[in-house]
Structure 1
Amino acid sequence: MTERRPRKDATRNRAAVLAAADTLFTHCQSPDSVTMADIAAAAGVGKATLFRAFGDRTGLIRALYEARLEPVRQAVEAGPPPLGPATAPQVRVPALLDAVLCFKLDNRHLALALEQTGSDSPYDTEHYERWHTLLHSLLAQIPGLTGSDFTAHALLAATRADLVAHLADEKGLPRAEMRAQLAEFTARTLSTPAPPVR
């Protein structure tokens, strides 16, 4: 049985919806203010199109988040050092956390919207499971480091969107300083020298 391809207009509508949602979340004051009606109007489609394609607002947010995250995921899975799989765990862990932090800084309203969806715990989402599994695996390879499961959770907690948004938007912590502090925190956790932040 051949796999059914989506119609061209459905593919086009999906792309328009994701682009519209991306713009709205990027420029909003609060992620709660972005509604399905806003996204449908900005994309030039009916609300029914959104619900057919994504199920609900959470499904749309998750699809957009995954699309934005794809370049980071590709770099982690097959890219060159320091993120790629050929890198030593002591170097790859801080590089991975820095990449996640930068992603959250660049997409904090979208990340907040996903983390605040009432239907899911942020710890049960596919992207969180993916990062935790990878970090847990890398930490377990570092000699002398124990408790890699909890340590992975603790390190990821430092990149939560609500914390990132609080530090960046309410406390005015500059991006470079936030990255440097995360690198120092990670280095202390791993008992390794902090790498320079470029």
Structure 2
Amino acid sequence: MARDQDRPALPPALPVVDQPPAERADAARNRHKILAAAEEIVATDGVEHLTMNDLAAAAGVGVGTVYRRFGDLAGVIDAMMNERENQLQQAFMAGPPPLGPGAPPADRVRAFLHSYVDLLDTYGDLLAAAETTTPSLRYRGAYAVHHIHLVTLISEANPGLDAQYLADTLLAAVAASHFVHQRRHRKMSVRRIKTGLDTLLDCLLQASR
């Protein structure tokens, strides 16, 4: 078993990243309309069909409004991912169990991994592109929050484990580029990926130093 001084100190709370700044009511309405239209396009036609012109038409606003609000398509995608990330964080910080508080820690880790796989099933291509373009960004922002969350739960589930290392290991298993490769080239179903993650998690949490 690890000595107490060998275990990493846990931070007291999880920060929520990338909260949008306060904005005027009309600007907020346009923002929500544009992002809702972007979500619909991605869900229906795929991310490759997301363009500024089509997005403006679907949202019922001028294309200039989209450019002024988001700058370019990368800005739209960044806002979409921030919105989904904030929803995920709120769910695992304060939502119902097993993703939120109230369930055993191992069940909460499993629920987080499954929820993240569901997010990747829609946005995996976008996140994989971001990882490839700027690899260092993968380990900032949302990744740091996810890591803290998993470190806390793994430490609760089995205090004898190296929670920081294992949190990185589990997050590596749901890297966007890894997920896209499994889905596109390995032809794995979402169910198979989740089952594999369950097996990995069970093996990791049962081990001890």
TM-score range (shorter-chain normalised) is: 0.7 to 0.9
C-alpha change, 1:162 and 1:172, in structure 2 (3 Å) is: same
Which residue type is aligned with residue 200 of structure 2? F
SS at match of 1:45: coil
Q: TM-score, normalised by structure 2?
A: 0.73
CA distance in 1, matches of 2:180, 2:139: 18
State the partner residue of 1:108.
Answer: 124
Shift of the 120–61 alpha-carbon distance from structure 1 to 2, 3 Å rule, reads farther
Q: Gaps (5+ residues) in structure 1?
A: 193-198
Would you say the 8 A contact 2:117–2:190 is kept in 1? no
Cα shift at 1:113: 5.0
Q: 1:65 aligns with which of 59, 64, 81?
A: 81
Quote the residue 1:195 is aligned against: none
> For residue 14 of structure 1, what is the aligned residue in structure 2?
31
For structure 2, the 5+ residue unaligned runs are 1-20
Q: Report the 3-state secondary structure (helix = DSSP H, G, I; strand = E; otherwise coil) of the residue aligned with 1:107.
A: helix
Provide the C-alpha distance between the structure 2 equivalents of 1:133 and 1:51, rounded to a whole number of angstroms.
Answer: 35
Calculate percent identity across the aligned residue pairs: 34
Q: Which residue pairs with 1:26 in the alignment?
A: 43
CA contact (8 A) 1:62 1:114 kept: no
- 1:175 corresponds to which residue? 190
Pick from 140, 149, 162 the counterpart of residue 134 of structure 1: 149
Q: Which structure ranks higher in relative contact order (CA pairs < 8 Å, sequence separation ≥ 6)?
A: 2
In 2, Cα distance between the equivalents of 1:119 and 1:185?
Answer: 25
Matched length:
186
CA distance in structure 2 between the partners assigned to 1:32 and 1:5 by the alignment:
30
Partner of 2:174 in structure 1? 159
Partner of 2:143, secondary structure, is helix
Contact 1:79–1:85 under 8 Å retained in 2: yes
1:80 is aligned to 2:82? no
TM-score relative to the length of structure 1: 0.76
Q: Secondary structure of 1:145's partner?
A: coil
